[in-house]
Structure 1
Amino acid sequence: MNYIEGIGFIAAVLTTTAFLPQVYKTWRTKDVSSLSLPMLFMFFVGIVGWLIYGVLKQSSSMIFANTITVVSAFLLIYFKIKYERINLYTDKLS
Structure 2
Amino acid sequence: METAIGIVAGILTSISMVPQLIKVIKEKDVDNLSPMMVAILLAGVSLWVVYGIILTDWPIILSNAFSVIVNTTLLICYFFFRNRQ
Q: Give me the TM-score of the superposition, normalised by structure 2.
A: 0.92
Structure 1 position 37 matched with structure 2 position 62:
no
Count of paired positions: 85
Q: Give me the TM-score of the superposition, normalised by structure 1.
A: 0.84
Structure 1 position 69 matched with structure 2 position 67:
yes
Counterpart amino acid of 1:77? Answer: L
Aligned-residue sequence identity (percent) comes to 26
Deviation of 1:18 after TM superposition, in Å, equals 2.2
For residues 2-81 of structure 1, the aligned pairs below 5 Å read 3-81=1-79
- SS of 2:16's partner is helix
User: Aligned partners of 2:18, 2:53: CA distance in 1, in Å?
Assistant: 22
Q: For the pair shown, which has the larger CA radius of gyration, 1 or 2?
A: 1
Report runs of 4+ in structure 1 exceeding 3 Å deviation.
Answer: none
**Structure 1: which 5+ runs fail to align?**
88-94
- Larger helix share, 1 or 2: 1
Q: Provide the alpha-carbon RMSD of the alignment.
A: 1.1
- SS of 2:30's partner is coil
1:91 corresponding residue in structure 2: none
User: Aligned partners of 1:5, 1:55: CA distance in 2, in Å?
Assistant: 16
